[in-house]
Amino acid sequence: AQSVTQLDSQVPVFEEAPVELRCNYSSSVSVYLFWYVQYPNQGLQLLLKYLSGSTLVKGINGFEAEFNKSQTSFHLRKPSVHISDTAEYFCAVSDRTGGGNKLTFGTGTQLKVEL
Amino acid sequence: NAGVTQTPKFQVLKTGQSMTLQCAQDMNHNSMYWYRQDPGMGLRLIYYSASEGTTDKGEVPNGYNVSRLNKREFSLRLESAAPSQTSVYFCASSEFRADRGYTFGSGTRLTVV
């Protein structure tokens, strides 16, 4: 079975500062990894995904994430945040070997950008 | 706009009442899912349908039933609502392959009193 851990439930940061949102996963098989963003009162939107190849993945809105197989991590980063980045961020994992497309989500990290 | 449409957006039920949450997608996706979102617990899978004609239980199926009406539509039914089912419910759809992400609806906020 897969699981995803997002240790930080809330991350406050000042505008234009860098931010890192942490994600660790556990799985006995190879996985695909995803980051989703949820703005207030909206559904989730795909930010970026790691499938294979380069371990550094770039997504929308200036976000990027690095896959680290030895540490089973997929941390999300942005070098300079904006007020509009205030949202909840979810890490998710999918089993590469099984059929279908079931995602297991972490509990989310609330990013609050302050002036 | 193409995407996943959920109805209703808000609902208040009394304990014991029943209701059906509707979900439709127009992206010709094979798979559809129902999640509930609760504070501090992330998204938990209730039921999913890998393809038309099939449904399977997820992590938290008790108290719910689903129907995959056709390839486009996947409904979630609460037969006898309980306060513990107060939550935000999201429907999502995807291609069958595991490397594809989901497209989410905008959610249904359900309160059971």
User: pLDDT at residue B96 above 90?
Assistant: no
Type of residue at B2: A
Question: According to the model, what pLDDT value does residue A30 have?
Answer: 80
**Residue burial B27-47, b: 16+ Cβ < 10 Å; e: rest:** eebbbbbbbbbeeeebbbbbb
**Residue burial A15-48, b: 16+ Cβ < 10 Å; e: rest:** eeeebebbbbbebeeebbbbbbbbeeeebbbbbb
Asked if B99 and A102 come within 8 Å (Cβ–Cβ), the reply is no
Q: What percent of chain B has pLDDT over 70?
A: 98
Mean pLDDT of the region A34-57: 92
Q: What confidence tier does A75 reach under pLDDT thresholds 50, 70, 90?
A: very high
Q: Angle at Cα B28 formed by Cα B25 and Cα B29, nearest 5°?
A: 80
B14 at A interface, C-beta within 8 A = no
Interface test with B, best of A44, A45, A93, A110 (most B CBs within 10 A): A44
Question: According to the model, what pLDDT value does residue B1 have?
Answer: 62
Interface test with B, best of A102, A104, A107, A109 (most B CBs within 10 A): A102
- Minimum mean pLDDT among A92-101, B25-34, B47-56, B69-78: which range? A92-101
Contacts of B95 in chain A (CB under 8 A): 101
